[in-house]
């Protein structure tokens, strides 16, 4: 819905969408300042009249002004009103988005909120771990991981993710990247040649598979997730999937396809690599348990602390079929990798002391709120742009208006210091696109005080790219 503030003495056209909550107004003012419609020095209407125009409580508008003043967008003096501060809004020159582009904000898909890391609880768990650790824990550890963590993870994964796990099936590694590198090398050592991957996914993961010597084949995606009906025909030995929340489209693998892929694996001795990267974050009340429980002998289940704690923790876990484990540990040895035992002991303490569950509960409610806020703000700033794929995880897809290029929006956002990515960046090279033009937008990472600013830039970048297409 379009609104004009003419009644308040300031003629400014705003797209406020269906909702009129203060957050939308705040983001709309930021967007108007960023795109120059509210020039430095422009006076804003008194909070009382703007509140009356928009049908919002006066206190809410006063709070919005207060926050924008605190952040330096606006200035105010008692008796003189509120105006746009004259910090220079530099009209940036367009530069292509490259590796050397400097970004002050990042809304790429799936980054967690690093400021939410539970520092004191982690420090306490580390202190407990150090106090209790046997002397042997300070030496070269078990290549599969520290026994204490293997037990904690087996219990936790069984309880929280429905994984069929025993401690001697668990292996701890340094991130999902290492799990994938080790599993793909173990597959090649056992004669595998070809692996199916979802048509959209991380290029880094595909490169890891190929570096191990595997050919990749793209599986198309639709509303039920990856099409696993042609695995026989494609002649793959293994398949890499994100069943709980496809990355990046956000679609869960349908129950029928879960059964279908497991049947394929059992029939052909194939292997499913289940990347459960954000399975802990489900917001629609539908818990989607691990696929692994359907066929523990044919599935490698993988989880990571990168989203639930932080990438800096550097811990991920795999639950592997017993027949694959020795080969996997051998490949790991050949790669020369290992994981910090003290970090493992800290995580074991953290899980056993129930801090991990508590932390996840707090994160879930924080991300649920951010997700709601994102929907509300984008509904206001980009009415008509569908937001999908956000029933779980820390990202969603924001569809672009017809004819607008993802690369143009990326470039417009980059000029304003924001990093965003279009969904086509995730498409397997040469595979036919099956997703409409969209941004993969994360809602985890920006610190809370800059979240609205980032969303306002997204809206402005989309509008600017739309204008330049006309």
Ligand X SMILES: Cc1ncc(COP(=O)(O)O)c(C=O)c1O
CB 134 within 8 A of CB 107: no
Instruction: Kindly tell me which residue out of 262, 316, 345, 397 binds ligand X, with binding defined by CB under 6 A.
Output: 316
Neighbours of 215 (CB within 10 A): 13
| 304 makes contact with ligand X (CB under 6 A) | yes
Round to whole Å and give the CA distance between 204 and 197. Answer: 12
Residue of 247, 264, 356, 451 that binds ligand X (CB under 6 A): 247
List, in order, residues 6 or more apart from 104 with CB less than 8 Å away: 417, 418
Residue holding tokens 């087996």?
Answer: 154
- CB atoms near residue 405 (< 10 Å): 15
For residue 200, CA distances in Å to 11, 105, 236, 284 come to 45, 24, 18, 23
Q: Are 308 and 360 in contact (CB under 8 A)?
A: yes
Binding window for ligand X (CB under 6 A); candidates: 69-77, 173-181, 258-266, 431-439? 173-181
Residues 440, 70: Cα–Cα separation, whole Å: 30
Kindly tell me which of 147 and 311 has the beta carbon lying closer to ligand X. Answer: 311
Rounded CA gap, 454 and 456, in Å?
Answer: 5
Report residue 433 as tokens.
């696109």
Q: What is the 3-state secondary structure (H, E, C) of 14-54?
A: EECCCCCCHHHHHHHHHHHHHCCCCCCCCEECCHHHHHHHH
Give the helix ranges, DSSP H, for 255-354.
255-268, 305-308, 325-335, 341-352
Comparing CB distances to ligand X, the nearer of 50 and 219 is: 219
Tell which one of 113, 275, 349, 421 touches ligand X (CB under 6 A). Answer: 275
Among 118, 162, 175, 250, which residue sits at the site for ligand X (rule: CB under 6 A)? 175
Residue owning tokens 């970048």? 461
Chain position whose Cβ is nearest to ligand X: 175
Residue 250 or 270 having the CB closest to ligand X: 250
Residue numbers 204-223 binding ligand X by CB under 6 A = none
* SS3 state at 467: helix
Q: Which stretch binds ligand X (CB under 6 A): 175-183, 209-217, 289-297, 319-327?
A: 175-183
Other beta carbons less than 10 A from residue 217's beta carbon: 18
- From 167, 177, 321, 353, residue interacting with ligand X (rule: CB under 6 A): 177
Q: Which of residues 85-104 bind ligand X (CB under 6 A)?
A: none
Piece of 5-13, 88-96, 171-179, 398-406 that binds ligand X (CB under 6 A): 171-179
From 81-89, 151-159, 169-177, 288-296, give the range in contact with ligand X by CB under 6 A.
169-177
Number of residues near ligand X (by CB under 6 A): 13
Other CB atoms closer than 10 Å to residue 7's CB: what's the count? Answer: 13
Q: Which is nearer to ligand X, 146 or 205 (CB)?
A: 205
Q: Going by DSSP bridges, is the β-strand pair 81-84/43-44 parallel, antiparallel, or unpaired? A: antiparallel
- The yes or no reply on residue 143 touching ligand X (CB under 6 A) is no
The single residue among 85, 292, 306, 346 that binds ligand X, judged by CB under 6 A, is 306
242 binds ligand X (CB under 6 A): yes
Q: Does 110 bind ligand X (CB under 6 A)?
A: yes
Q: Does 246 bind ligand X (CB under 6 A)?
A: no
Shortest approach of ligand X to residue 219 CB, angstroms? Answer: 15
176 touches ligand X by CB under 6 A:
yes
The sign of the CA dihedral 209, 329, 154, 255 is positive
Does position 466 bind ligand X by CB under 6 A?
no
Per-residue tokens: 266:
């059992």
Rounded to a whole number of angstroms, the minimum distance from the CB of residue 395 to ligand X is 8
Distance of alpha carbon 354 from the chain centroid? 24
Residue 77 CB, shortest distance to ligand X, in Å, is 46
Among 30, 108, 169, 202, binds ligand X (CB under 6 A): 202
Six token digits for residue 463: 């509008």
Q: Is 32 a binder of ligand X (CB under 6 A)?
A: no
Which range touches ligand X (CB under 6 A), out of 174-182, 218-226, 257-265, 362-370? 174-182
Shortest distance (Å) from residue 135 CB to ligand X: 30
Q: How far is the CB of 173 from ligand X (least distance, A)?
A: 9
What residues line the site for ligand X (CB under 6 A)? 110, 175-177, 202, 242, 247, 275, 277, 304, 306, 311, 316
């Amino acid at each position: 819905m379009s609104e004009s503030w003419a009644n308040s003495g300031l003629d400014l056209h705003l797209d406020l969408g269906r909702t009129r909550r203060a957050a939308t107004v705040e983001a709309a003012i930021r967007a108007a300042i960023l795109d120059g419609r509210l020039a430095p020095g422009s006076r804003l209407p008194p909070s009382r009249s703007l509140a009356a125009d928009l049908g919002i409580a006066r206190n809410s508008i006063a709070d919005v002004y207060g926050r924008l003043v605190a952040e330096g967008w606006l200035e105010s003096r008692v008796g003189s009103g509120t105006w746009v501060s004259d910090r220079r809004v530099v009209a940036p020159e367009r530069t292509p988005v490259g590796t050397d582009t400097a970004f002050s904000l990042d809304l790429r898909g799936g980054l967690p909120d690093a400021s939410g890391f539970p520092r004191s609880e982690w420090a306490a768990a580390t202190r407990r771990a150090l106090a209790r650790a046997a002397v042997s824990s300070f030496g070269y550890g078990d290549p599969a991981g520290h026994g204490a963590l293997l037990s904690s993870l087996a219990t936790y994964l069984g309880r929280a993710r429905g994984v069929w796990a025993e401690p001697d099936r668990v292996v701890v590694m340094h991130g999902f990247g290492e799990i994938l590198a080790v599993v793909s090398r173990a597959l090649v050592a056992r004669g595998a040649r070809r692996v199916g991957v979802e048509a959209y996914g991380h290029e880094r993961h595909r490169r890891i598979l190929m570096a191990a010597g595997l050919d990749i084949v793209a599986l198309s995606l639709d509303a039920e997730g990856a099409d696993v009906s042609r695995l026989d025909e494609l002649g793959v030995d293994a398949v890499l999937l994100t069943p709980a929340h496809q990355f990046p489209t956000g679609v869960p693998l349908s129950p029928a396809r879960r059964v279908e892929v497991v049947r394929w694996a059992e029939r052909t001795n194939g292997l499913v690599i289940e990347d459960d990267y954000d399975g802990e974050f489900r917001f629609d009340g539908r818990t989607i348990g691990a696929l692994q429980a359907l066929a523990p002998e044919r599935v490698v289940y993988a989880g990571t602390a990168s989203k639930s704690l932080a990438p800096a923790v550097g811990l991920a876990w795999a639950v592997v079929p017993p027949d694959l484990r020795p080969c996997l540990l051998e490949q790991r040895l050949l790669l020369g990798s290992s994981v910090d035992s003290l970090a493992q002991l800290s995580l074991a303490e953290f899980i056993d002391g129930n801090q991990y569950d508590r932390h996840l509960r707090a994160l879930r409610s924080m991300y649920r709120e951010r997700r709601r806020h994102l929907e509300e703000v984008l509904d206001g700033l980009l009415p008509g742009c569908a937001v999908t794929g956000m029933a779980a995880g820390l990202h969603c897809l924001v569809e672009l208006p017809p004819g607008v290029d993802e690369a143009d929006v990326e470039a417009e956002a980059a000029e304003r210091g924001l990093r965003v990515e279009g969904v086509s960046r995730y498409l397997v090279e040469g595979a036919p696109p099956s997703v409409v033009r969209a941004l993969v937008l994360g809602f985890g990472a920006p610190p809370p005080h800059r979240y609205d600013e980032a969303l306002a830039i997204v809206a402005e970048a989309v509008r600017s790219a739309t204008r330049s297409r006309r």
